[in-house]
Amino acid sequence: MPSSLLLISDTHFPARGAAHDGGLPGPVWDAVDAADVVVHAGDWCTAELLDRLEARATRLVACWGNNDGADLRARLPETARVTIDGVRVAVTHETGATQGREQRALRAHPDTDLLVFGHSHIPWDSRADGLRLLNPGSPTDRRRMPTHTWVTLTLDDGRIGDVVLHHLEPAGRA
């Protein structure tokens, strides 16, 4: 049976997520409820959203980001590593500059099939020598992007499938 994943990052609660019910837009909470595993790639900013996701998600895999303080760093690793349905997953916040990202990721995360990262708030999907790199963007802080974003995907028997980038218009836009 495939596992469904929700990928989010850079929620920056409460500065960015406070306008949403519980810190995330409604469609993202719906995705939390539907996912077998929720993955958060850092920049929570407070433990409040972490507590909410831990309480609501079936399973949470997460790391801390550069804007996360000692309380979050005490509870989360800099890089989380798990195997889900035969896929070796690493979750970290920063991967450095766009140029050379794949080669740095291959060196930093050997024996990894899927690297989930954040920091830029810009969605990313690339492959390098068997490694898939995904950045879901941000569901609450779009920065230079036209929409807020998150990713859903499935993992099944060692394969990554059905990667979907979701978009939510920012408040006030039709």
Residue 114 falls within a domain, yes or no?
yes
Number of domains in the chain: 1
pLDDT at res. 19: 65
Its domain, for residue 61, covers 3-168
What secondary structure letter does DSSP report for 22?
Answer: G
Q: What is the CATH number of the domain that holds 51?
A: 3.60.21.10
Instruction: Return the beta strands (E) in the chain as ranges.
Output: 3-8, 37-40, 60-62, 79-84, 87-92, 114-116, 124-128, 131-135, 148-156, 159-168
* Continuous H helices in the chain: 26-34, 47-56, 70-75, 101-108
Residue 55 falls within a domain, yes or no?
yes
pLDDT at res. 169: 75
pLDDT at res. 17: 62
Residues of the chain below pLDDT 70: 16-19, 170-174
pTM here is 0.95
pLDDT at res. 13: 83
Residue 104 falls within a domain, yes or no?
yes
Residue 93 falls within a domain, yes or no?
yes
pLDDT at res. 171: 61
Residue 173 falls within a domain, yes or no?
no
Residue 145 falls within a domain, yes or no?
yes
- Assign 4 to helix, strand or coil: strand
Four-point Cα dihedral 87, 90, 94, 95, nearest 10: -60
pLDDT at res. 158: 96
